[in-house]
Amino acid sequence: MTNLIEIEDVSHAYQTASGPLPVLDGLNLSVPEGKFCAVVGPSGCGKSTLTRLIAGLMFPDRGEVRLHGEVIRSPRKSVGMAFQNPVLLEWRTILNNVILPLEIVAPRMPRAKREERARELLSLVGLEGFEDKRPSELSGGMRQRASLCRSLVHKPDILILDEPFGALDAFTREDLWQLMHQLRSEEPFTALLITHDLRESVYLADQVVVLSGRPARTQFVLDIDLPGPRPIEMLYNTQSVEWLAQLRAQIEIAQGRSDPRNSTP
């Protein structure tokens, strides 16, 4: 299987008033085409920085970030992004918010085609009938569904999700996890999810990467070899409980609360 994203020996420091702040240090990570990779790690270790490097919004001091084998040297149109705060534009209807990326990426696409594509996705996520509403008229979970549609409307090569479910209540969050599996089976895509929720990572991902504390490097990789959509009950089976315990132990190490020599991954 070919890798869609390859991050090789990447280091990066921010220049701050008090000097350079090293954030990533020799980070390695690869995501095969069509796979779902979850990245977990302590707060402030550099996860959002990593998403900006993949989107081509920033470039590393050292090492390479490659998409389809090509080093990223400019912002990528073939990336879709969704964040904890859906940032929908209040002066646009839900339909027009979802269409927005197509106006930028496919300006020649006829209006009717853009609408058709956006309506198709909105119906897939259960927002049929809300196309003409404004963002403030929707609940938080509905806004996040609309935001997911907007990030997928232009059929990106890669979907980058930076804690998109973090602000939602537990039930809505589980609904959206299941929706992610449904969206993937309807229209396969490659995804990189940043999350603080280990259950979310085990339920959604094919591969969970644990980053160390800042400056971050890859500390641990867990492969979750389960095909297709998963029933939510899988989180309670013996295998998942074991995976969650392994990840929890790795996070403790990343936070410097546990000695790596005591861990048996």
Ligand X SMILES: Nc1ncnc2c1ncn2[C@@H]1O[C@H](COP(=O)(O)OP(=O)(O)OP(=O)(O)O)[C@@H](O)[C@H]1O
11 binds, among Mg ion, ligand X, none (CB under 5 to 8 A by kind): none
| Interface residue list for ligand X (CB under 6 A) | 14, 16, 21, 23, 43-49, 214
CB of 48 to ligand X, least distance (A): 3
Q: Which is nearer to ligand X, 21 or 232 (CB)?
A: 21
Q: Which residue is closest to Mg ion by CB?
A: 48
| Interface residue list for Mg ion (CB under 5 A) | 48
CB of 195 to ligand X, least distance (A): 9
E strand residue ranges, 100-258: 158-162, 190-194, 207-211, 218-223
User: Which of 25, 37, 8 is CA-nearest to residue 206?
Assistant: 37
CB of 162 to Mg ion, least distance (A): 6
49 binds, among ligand X, Mg ion, none (CB under 5 to 8 A by kind): ligand X
- Give the C-alpha separation, 9 to 63, whole Å: 5
Q: Which is nearer to ligand X, 102 or 198 (CB)?
A: 198
Beta-bridge partner residues of 18: none
23 binds, among ligand X, Mg ion, none (CB under 5 to 8 A by kind): ligand X
Tokens of 205: 């991902």
Q: Report cis status (omega within 30 of 0) of the bond before 215.
A: yes
Q: Which is nearer to Mg ion, 48 or 255 (CB)?
A: 48
CB of 89 to Mg ion, least distance (A): 22
- Give the C-alpha separation, 130 to 127, whole Å: 6
Q: Which is nearer to ligand X, 45 or 98 (CB)?
A: 45
CB of 164 to Mg ion, least distance (A): 12
CB of 213 to ligand X, least distance (A): 10
- Give the C-alpha separation, 153 to 102, whole Å: 7
Q: Which is nearer to Mg ion, 48 or 178 (CB)?
A: 48
- Give the C-alpha separation, 24 to 244, whole Å: 25
**In what side-by-side order are the strands of the sheet with 190-194?**
79-83, 158-162, 190-194, 36-40, 207-211, 218-223
Q: Which is nearer to Mg ion, 98 or 194 (CB)?
A: 194
Tally of CB atoms within 10 A around 17: 4
212 binds, among ligand X, Mg ion, none (CB under 5 to 8 A by kind): none
